[in-house]
Amino acid sequence: MNLQQPSGWPRWLWQLLPSVFGLIFMPLAQAEVSHVSINQRLFDLAKPPLIKVNIVAGPQDPDRLQFILRQKSGEEKLMVQQINNYMLLLMGVEEVNDPNALLLVQQYQGEQWLEIGQLPVFAKSVPVGNPPDPSRFSLYRNPTGKKVPESAVVATKPAITPATKAAPVVPAAVARDGQCTLEYHGTETLWRLATQYAKQWHTNVYAAALAIMAANPKAFVKGKPGNLRSDVRLHCPAAPQWELYADKTRAKEKFEALM
């Protein structure tokens, strides 16, 4: 149907009318997220992703966003930690080996995740920064700023018994009460711990992370992997806790469901 310009209307106003209607009927969610961009890439090739992004959105909208890192080997949903009202920190555990990797930005709309942007991670225009030091990094994720006194944990090797001779030696600390605890000083992320122990436990990093969480449920605020408290001792998980997720695909699905 062709609309006729009403008599007496200025031509410029008639030409502007479609744009005005477009703004009026713009979906609310789309209007609330007006800008997402990479602030800094804090990692290099062959390292796990660590990215700061700028965001201009409504108060509740960051919770309706998710970020996927896509490379040739597959995709990984990144952990999101809010630095302030305009900046997020994205973290992952899979090494990025594709120089053409993309950061996919998705928003939850109409009961489904819709892609609203693709950002080249290694583009020349992306600023590159150094990873934050452990003390600053812990402020991004830890609900408390307290640290476990080093005197409270004594580093040593776990005792070897006939039943464990064939098992790989896991670097751990033994607390004074004799309980096995992981080497954790309140500054490491769950991902760093899981990456270290996954190699020792001969399992995937997702299984190691889930096992650590299962053995230390009170160490994670609201049960979130990114909310590891800095003032706790982390108990060593038992082998069945990581063997339960020997299937990496299943472990990844379970882990991402907790994010």
Kindly report, residue by residue over 115-155, the tens digit of the pLDDT. 999 999 999 999 999 876 554 444 334 333 333 333 333 33
> How many residues are listed for the chain in this entry?
259
Nearest Cα neighbor of 234 from 173, 159, 157 is 173
| Burial category of 78 from C-beta neighbours within 10 Å (exposed 0-12, middle 13-18, buried 19 and up) | buried
What is the distance between the alpha carbons of residues 50 and 182, in angstroms, rounded to a whole number?
24
What is the distance between the alpha carbons of residues 139 and 135, in angstroms, rounded to a whole number?
7
Look up the pTM and report it. 0.51
Kindly report, residue by residue over 190-222, the tens digit of the pLDDT. 888 988 899 899 999 899 999 999 999 999 988
